Amino acid sequence: MNAIGSFVKTLAGFVDGLRFALHLHADSAFEHVADHRAGMAVGCRRLAGAIGDLDNLSLQFSAVQNWQSMREYGTNLLCATAQNHGRSQRRHSPSIHISPPIDDISPKGTTPKGPFTVFLLYHLNMAKRTNAFDLTLPLLDTEIPAYRMLYEALRAEILDGRLGPGARLPATRDLARQYQLSRGTIVNAFELLKSEGYLEGSIGSGTYVSKVLPDESFHVKAEGDRHPEIERRPRRRMSAYAKRVHLFPSLERRPSRAFRANVPALDLFPTGLWAQIAARRLRQVSTNLLLGCDPMGYRPLREAVADYVTTSRGVRCTTEQIAIVSGVQEALDLTARLVLNPGDRVCMENPGYVGAAMVFESIGAKISALAVDHEGMELRASGLRGARLVYVTPGHQFPLGISMSLPRRLQLLEWARKSGGLIFEDDYDSEYRYSGRPVPALQGLDRNGSMLFAGSFSKVLFPSLRLGYLVIPQDLVDYFAAAKSITTRHAQLLDQAVLCDFITEGHFGRHLRRMRGVYAERLSALLQSAREKLAGWLDISDVEAGLQTVGWLRRGITDESAARAAAARNVDVIPLSRYTRGRAAREGLQLGFAAVDPREIQRGVKELAQALKAAGSGS
């Protein structure tokens, strides 16, 4: 395996949905890389023809950018599409083709010269996993021959979708052993299913459920006799919680373009270093690390976090108060379940973080949405009356970016002291401040144990890590520990150990400093470019912190129409009305800059200016 192969292999071990870029020259080719033990292969041979041959299905080549999005990266190429694998194709040679040919895809008819970038997006595929498990089939009818019984059972699994297209079946030898049948019986059943188009592949190299099922399956579906048992099923009685809980959309898995918000620059994360630390941890793993830990988390990581939040964020706490959670979201969920009952009142900022509102509503809490002004959340007595909990983002208000003034902070703490209410401080991205003095946590000012303080590694490292922390008032620690112990038991221990090393060996601080520099540069590119091209259309906020900023729309343009016009030009902006309960006081857009490189920022600003002109003329 060559260097690219080992790089890919290392990364793929840690990141599902991995995207990476290969920098190539127009006439360059690199060797075929394969590692079947690792279950992956990638190869680029002829750039004018097939650029990738994946000869192992455990990695699925799911997408390559089109020309449009390639331009966002300021690169010269490339347009490629995953070839649609029909049943006629050889199972083991899916390939990616450049389409259209290189010479045709330059926008103005010029032949692009290298260097250029090919973006490959990989997902670890389910197919590899399915054959690692026993396949449990309901083999009931002993009146019919065994091969027929197996055939019926497998066919039903396929038609009911329990065995999805592309799923790999267990080896005939394993099935024979599992069901105590002869291998010949299994082969006969497989052959029959193959002849009818349900399965494909060959004995010895793997048998798979066909990607395209025979017409008969659709016929069966249309007749309505596929799920007789489902149709007769009585309506389920669900809990009140089930009726209130809604799906929070997961992060879209696509490369960042201007102005994707709420994500860090994932392409700059030191994956190789992380891989080294993880590999070392795994090599030296102790049985304790395989066994589990306290519900509150891995003690050395809790110590490292306590160190970090006290030093860098001005939090006052002991290690005992730190719970390692799966991000701020879990901290919110635990808090809501432990301190709120249906009907309780929760105050939050308006506009504010929708993910928090969804948690509170799932519990049946009533939300009071308090307006935000230049000092942060407005704290009128009428707004706070009867509240059990206040959720707030004082360091860098989400989404407006304002940091809460000292008088407001003191006023909020005074409310908590007098009312016995709690304050949840969401410190989701306060590490990033590019000008002015650092803003310490509100928690640090509290002397009454009224504060829950939550932070996350999603924005500082990467979101799929799903690790964060919650600093809990001393008298509530046992409740949180108990709730954790009967739900997740504890956060993933190996990930906690890797993160702990990453922090204690100084990599975390270094990464943070480096990213601060990168993001500051990106923000200044946005501000400068916006001054030149968006003046009179969009006023960018002067808050210099976080991963995103806001722009206030002028000339009567609505944020939804601006977002639509921007999307038509491959620019993402989020209308602030999506974070607002009731009518928004002002029309504005959220613009992310951290995950967008300066060239892409410039393209984004140019396109956004055109988009706003178009939206303005239509309004």
Ligand X SMILES: Cc1ncc(COP(=O)(O)O)c(C=O)c1O
Which residues are near ligand X by CB under 6 A? 262, 327-329, 353, 355, 393, 398, 426, 428, 456, 458, 463, 468
Closer residue to ligand X (CB): 200 or 349: 349
Closer residue to ligand X (CB): 175 or 471: 471
Q: Which of 171, 189, 455 is nearest to 304 (CA)?
A: 455
Closer residue to ligand X (CB): 179 or 353: 353
Closer residue to ligand X (CB): 130 or 393: 393
Q: What is the dihedral of CA 515, 518, 523, 525, to 10 degrees?
A: -170
* In the complex, minimum distance from the CB of residue 272 to ligand X, in angstroms, rounded to a whole number: 23
* In the complex, minimum distance from the CB of residue 429 to ligand X, in angstroms, rounded to a whole number: 7
* In the complex, minimum distance from the CB of residue 26 to ligand X, in angstroms, rounded to a whole number: 40
Q: What one-letter code names the amino acid at 511?
A: H
Residue whose beta carbon is closest to ligand X: 327
In 10 A of CB 263, how many CB atoms? 19
Closer residue to ligand X (CB): 402 or 534: 402
Pair 458, 432: CB distance under 8 Å: no
DSSP-derived 3-state class of residue 171: coil
* In the complex, minimum distance from the CB of residue 262 to ligand X, in angstroms, rounded to a whole number: 5
Q: 176 burial class (0-12, 13-18, 19+ CB within 10 angstroms)?
A: middle
545 DSSP 8-state letter: B
Closer residue to ligand X (CB): 200 or 426: 426
Pair 517, 313: CB distance under 8 Å: no
Spatial neighbors of 429 by CB under 8 A, at least 6 apart, are 395, 396, 459, 460, 545, 546, 547
Closer residue to ligand X (CB): 309 or 612: 309
Pair 593, 611: CB distance under 8 Å: no
Q: Could you give the C-alpha distances from 264 to 28, 381, 464, in angstroms and in order? A: 32, 37, 12
Cα distance between residue 318 and residue 327, in whole Å: 20
* In the complex, minimum distance from the CB of residue 398 to ligand X, in angstroms, rounded to a whole number: 4
Closer residue to ligand X (CB): 85 or 254: 254
- Rg for the chain (alpha carbons), in Å? 28
* In the complex, minimum distance from the CB of residue 472 to ligand X, in angstroms, rounded to a whole number: 16
Q: Could you give the C-alpha distances from 136 to 151, 154, 157, 236, 239, in angstroms and in order? A: 13, 10, 10, 26, 31
* In the complex, minimum distance from the CB of residue 459 to ligand X, in angstroms, rounded to a whole number: 7
In 10 A of CB 45, how many CB atoms? 14
Pair 420, 432: CB distance under 8 Å: no
* In the complex, minimum distance from the CB of residue 200 to ligand X, in angstroms, rounded to a whole number: 40
Closer residue to ligand X (CB): 428 or 519: 428
* In the complex, minimum distance from the CB of residue 432 to ligand X, in angstroms, rounded to a whole number: 13
Closer residue to ligand X (CB): 393 or 577: 393
Cα distance between residue 149 and residue 139, in whole Å: 6
* In the complex, minimum distance from the CB of residue 52 to ligand X, in angstroms, rounded to a whole number: 32
Cα distance between residue 95 and residue 84, in whole Å: 9
Closer residue to ligand X (CB): 372 or 609: 372
88 DSSP 8-state letter: T
* In the complex, minimum distance from the CB of residue 260 to ligand X, in angstroms, rounded to a whole number: 12
* Cβ burial 138-175 (10 Å sphere, 16+ → b, else e): eeeeeeeebbebbbbbbbebbbeeebeebbbbbbbeeb
